[in-house]
Structure 1
Amino acid sequence: MSDPLAPLLALDDVAAAVKSAQDAVFAVHRLPANLRDGSATASEASVRAARSSAGIEGASLDVSDVVSDPVLAGALRVAEALESILPTWRRAPLQALARLHLLAAADLVSDQDSLGRPVSGAGPRLELLAQLITGATSVPGAVLSAVVHGELLALKPFGSADGVVARAAARLSMIATGLDPKALTVPEVAYFRRITKYHAAASAFASGAPDGISEWLLFSCEAIESGAKEARSISDAAG
């Protein structure tokens, strides 16, 4: 059976961008501090990722505002739970997505029964995405995480906190595929710093046009590379 995502690697410049992103992430994992453990880097990376993800949605970046800002609170809950959600992501990604939404949107919706429930019509595309996550493709992690991220942004499967869920799912994909097994990198910071480009590239991906898909993949790889630089600075600061 052919790999449905394999053609993406043939798009202009994508294969080279994927390799560059991989090399940058692997270099961070080889830093002495991260070879020994990496938990200090991962802990700080998790908080920065959550803050930036919330910031993309217009929320505060100040963790002291967690009580008053429901988006930031949700993003931080998601970040704290990612490690425990990872096993479910590997075998039952739709369950993991439901859990991510429950955590991200708990303070955003009036109907608590809607938490974790996809909106009408989202099911078929979510099923296809789940198949990719659980083994229907063997493309590099940078490609799969970008597709997961872009597809969830386009689909908006829950109708609330979809951006936070999409970025958390992309992070899980980077971990699960072995691209960033210790969750050291912070591409979310790059998304936030280039928020206009982020939204434009996501819209281009949602169009389904080859040029649009290529634009999103290249942007995602650039963000992963920038996220590796962020991780390096965290590692250096941690000693």
Structure 2
Amino acid sequence: MSSASASAAAASGASNASGAAPAADPLAPLGALPGVAESVDSVRKAVDRVYGHRVMRRRSGAIASEAGLRGARGSAALSGADWALEEVRRRSDFSLDPEARTVGAALRLSAEAGQLLSIWRQSPLRVLARLHLVASGSTAEGDVVGRPRLAGERVDEPLLARFPAPDAEEVAGRLDGLSRLIIAGGSAPALITAAVVHGELLALRPFTSYNGLVARTAERIVLINSGLDPKAICPAEVGHAEQGREAYLEAFEGYVSGTPEGMSAWIAHCGRAIVLGARESTAVCEALQRGAA
């Protein structure tokens, strides 16, 4: 594989030539990379803290709703539409310009993610297609929406322009490998699986648009489905945005490199994003407890 990312190799190895299941989880070795175990531990402690907050016992729905809104705002910011939270909350028309459409897409994806959890482990490619269709909304053009791009179709993803996108044939093969990996399941911690799914979708850019938004939504689905964040109250998108766009791209460059150091840095970055998302929801819990929100 031309990009030589460790996770792409793992994904393609999720099945052998006979189609039999692999003997071991191909993502498990990533857990032994320097710093990864510490990131996994930090994430678990941060998530446990917010789930243990006394407000969660009676207001978990309100906290999840706020987490979804803030996560959507963060994801849109990384895709070039960095709006204030109150502007996102206030607006009702998201069709006027490219930034508004990006914010609208992020909000729709946040709402849709919870409807696709039961399908993810059986048909991840179907979920990804649905996410792209939802993100595109009424701006869809022809039959390019809701399916991986074909040879010659251009990717409109300015944020990731510095990273060459694989051709359509490679995308199809690696998407199949990623799908097999998800369906097979495994013992790797949720952080590792979520980071690999997120990074691989960013690297592949399987659709003609909205790949960043789709990748971050897929990360969220993995975190919910894994049981790490079953109530969807720890929005990693908030943490990705808080760390900044350049830090996000620098960490992603490590993923694309496929080196142990690069993969470790990407997983650590995703781990910090979840910790920061959990911290954001803890602040919401505190505000609700004070009656200030």
The TM-score bracket by the shorter chain reads over 0.9
Find the partner of 2:147 among 117, 120, 126. 117
Which residue is 1:197 aligned to? 247
Deviations 1:125-144 (A, max 9, x none): 11221222223422111111
Find the partner of 2:233 among 184, 194, 205. 184
Aligned 8 A contact 1:106 1:115 in 2: no
CA distance in 2, matches of 1:89, 1:34: 26
Which residue is 1:223 aligned to? 273
Which residue is 1:100 aligned to? 131
Which residue is 2:54 aligned to? 32
Find the partner of 1:50 among 62, 72, 90. 72
- Cα deviation for residue 212 of structure 1 reads 0.8
Find the partner of 2:182 among 129, 133, 138. 133
- Cα deviation for residue 31 of structure 1 reads 1.3
Aligned 8 A contact 1:24 1:225 in 2: yes
Determine whether 1:206 maps to 2:262.
Answer: no
Deviations 1:19-58 (A, max 9, x none): 1111111221121222345111100000111111111111
- Cα deviation for residue 107 of structure 1 reads 4.5
SS of 1:99's equivalent in the other structure is helix
Equivalenced residues, count: 238
CA distance in 2, matches of 1:223, 1:169: 15
Identity across the alignment (%):
41
- Cα deviation for residue 177 of structure 1 reads 0.3
Deviations 1:137-177 (A, max 9, x none): 22111111111111111110112100000000000000000
Question: 63-72 or 200-209, which moves further after superposition?
Answer: 63-72
CA distance in 2, matches of 1:128, 1:26: 32
SS of 2:114's equivalent in the other structure is helix
Which residue is 2:30 aligned to? 8
- Cα deviation for residue 66 of structure 1 reads 2.2
Aligned 8 A contact 2:199 2:255 in 1: yes
Aligned 8 A contact 1:185 1:231 in 2: yes
Which residue is 1:161 aligned to? 210
Determine whether 1:85 maps to 2:85.
Answer: no
SS of 2:130's equivalent in the other structure is helix
Compared with structure 1, are the counterparts of its residues 72 and 50 closer, same or farther at alpha carbon in structure 2 (3 Å cutoff)? Answer: same
Matches within 5 A, 1:51-70: 51-61=73-83, 62-63=87-88, 64=91, 66-68=94-96, 69-70=100-101
Deviations 1:79-102 (A, max 9, x none): 111111111113211111101000
- Cα deviation for residue 108 of structure 1 reads 4.5
Unaligned 5+ runs, structure 1: none
Deviations 1:181-211 (A, max 9, x none): 0000122122112211001111210121111
Amino acid corresponding to residue 238 of structure 1 in structure 2: L
Which residue is 1:234 aligned to? 284
Amino acid corresponding to residue 33 of structure 2 in structure 1: L
Report which of the two structures shows the higher radius of gyration computed on alpha carbons: 2
Amino acid corresponding to residue 230 of structure 2 in structure 1: P
Aligned 8 A contact 1:71 1:105 in 2: no
More helix as a share of residues: 1
Question: 167-176 or 64-73, which moves further after superposition?
Answer: 64-73
SS of 2:267's equivalent in the other structure is helix
SS of 2:116's equivalent in the other structure is helix
Deviations 1:58-93 (A, max 9, x none): 125232162321111111111111111111113211
Regions of 4+ moved over 3 Å: none
